[in-house]
Chain A
């Protein structure tokens, strides 16, 4: 047992593939199951609301898991864990997209004017929408080719995941009618995770400024 924690554990190609397959089966399986049950009217009295909750919570949970992966990979002698971070992150985005789709298709039932006015007028929807747009940017810039093209700026871009998590939690807190509830535990977890990254956050806040500056874009060449 001891050895497990002393020696670095390298994951073989097959172990990584197995881990990723398990992630696929779990995340995709859950999503398919809740949508099917909802269609069959077996997901509680109001399947639309249940689906919004299942996908919203799923997304926020996956976001928290994503944020746990790099501290874990540093502390456990198993740096290879980092190799499944992108997949979990992409599922976080997929769940958020499913959440939005459920909202548009089943909650608003394709009432586009209502969608527009809700995004503008309801602060918690505005915040959720902003988080979704950020996740979209992160997902779109996740392929290796784009990673290579962005070079050092990729990290700066992807550190927006912290803002994303904060906005997601704000949206969650705001969607409930009272303050006391599960979001408080999530905030506690979030603060804990951020406290591990203080120096990184400080450096990031400086580099964000350069992200859009002419100098940074001329470096692209």
Chain B
């Protein structure tokens, strides 16, 4: 039955999609999709857009970053192409549509930037971007990224273990959780200034992990992908990547990391506690009220006809984290 829809070779080869094609199709959707009252009334995405062909999605200069490729973190899975990794982003600070951040964040000025580590630590400190580059050697880590919306990607991140950063601050024995905070700057992040762009979320975006989770070697702070520094839409200059949890845990554009003794508030949990829990471990047996989590669509290079629905694995296939949750009811602590 499904045979009819198997992709033909011809189509799967056709994966090279340059930016102009992306622009073209945006244009088309907007013009012919009669975008509707909302867009017409909104100054930012107004009708004028339909006629200006120069909508910018150009990548700002991405710096190549020196890195090693430890064998245990390479993968034989098909990677999600760079174009897709950088044009399909949930980053509400730059708009709620997944194609928004690539457009709205393109002019985002990353520096100056500081990252502060404080709270229940012996040695609080603040780092500039240059310090990050100098102090930590980068590894390429190919991780699966599973979004709570039941799609997934495979991304070659460049980063270093969060644990090595936290150790430098020397956590106190009372510290049990780690709280993260995204930049709050409505001037640079339009979604924070306008709720019709940012979905009316309480900003800044905040996330959290248990200290154990934060110290796990799989947990990294990423400063790049595909061999270069992070594009703004992917969370430049530094973001968290926790591959066994749903994507929203991997907070972007971090300015502050604070160690605490209490479970910190997290953005989506605050917004809809019955939908998004604190742990948010990938789990095919615990459905989200809006999406079945039993399977996912893997976004790689196929078009519409790609048969890309695959079963979802517990902890996104990273079973080595299971001991962290020995004594936890994963159904209650979703």
Contact = CB atoms under 8 A, between A and B. Distances in A.
Q: How large is the interface on B (under 10, 10 to 19, 20 to 34, 35 or more residues)?
A: 35 or more
A34 B29 contact: yes
Given A178-B271, A182-B36, A47 B199 contact: no
Given A44-B88, A122-B289, A186 B28 contact: no
A107 B297 CA distance: 8
Contacts of A108: 309
Contacts of A26: 32
A41 B200 contact: no
Nearest to A189: B37
Contact of B21 (A42, A46, A181): A42
A29 to B, nearest CB: 8
B14 interface: yes
B310 to A, nearest CB: 10
Contact of B295 (A46, A114, A184): A114
B302 A41 contact: yes
Contacts of B297: 46, 48, 107
Nearest to B199: A178
Given A108-B309, A109-B309, A110-B2, A42 B25 contact: yes
B110 interface: no
A186 B36 contact: yes
Interface string B1-43: 1100100000100110100011001101100111111110100
A35 interface: yes
A53 B302 CA distance: 19
A118 B36 contact: no
Contacts of A61: 33-34, 36
Contacts, number: 143
Contact of B292 (A38, A118, A176): A118
Chief secondary structure at chain B's binding surface: loop
Most buried by B among A49, A65, A114, A118: A49
A182 B96 CA distance: 10
Contacts of A30: 32-33
A101 B32 CA distance: 20
B207 interface: no
Contact of A122 (B290, B302, B309): B290
A137 interface: no
Interface string A76-104: 00000000000000000000000000000
A48 B39 contact: no
Interface residues of A, number: 55
A109 B307 contact: yes
Interface string B60-89: 000000000000000000000001110110
Given A109-B2, A124-B290, A176-B96, A42 B17 contact: yes
B33 A111 contact: no
B142 to A, nearest CB: 18
A185 B36 CA distance: 9
B304 interface: yes
B47 interface: no
B14 A41 contact: yes
A46 B5 contact: no
B25 A45 contact: no
A42 to B, nearest CB: 5
B305 interface: yes
A17 B292 CA distance: 47
Interface in A149-200: 176-186, 188-189
Interface string A102-138: 0001111111001001100110100000000000000
26 contacts: A33-B28, A38-B303, A39-B11, A40-B14, A41-B11, A41-B304, A42-B21, A45-B88, A46-B84, A46-B151, A46-B299, A57-B35, A61-B33, A65-B34, A109-B2, A110-B1, A110-B2, A111-B295, A118-B292, A122-B289, A180-B198, A181-B96, A182-B39, A185-B38, A185-B41, A189-B37
Which 3 pairs of residues, A with B, have the shortest CB-CB distance? A182-B38, A41-B303, A45-B88
Interface of B: 1-2, 5, 11, 14-15, 17, 21-22, 25-26, 28-29, 32-39, 41, 83-85, 87-88, 92, 96, 98-99, 151, 195-196, 198-201, 271-272, 287, 289-292, 294-295, 297, 299, 301-305, 307-309
Given A42-B17, A57-B35, 19 more contacts: A33-B32, A40-B11, A41-B304, A45-B88, A48-B297, A48-B304, A49-B151, A54-B29, A57-B33, A57-B36, A58-B34, A106-B304, A109-B2, A110-B5, A178-B200, A178-B271, A182-B38, A186-B36, A188-B37
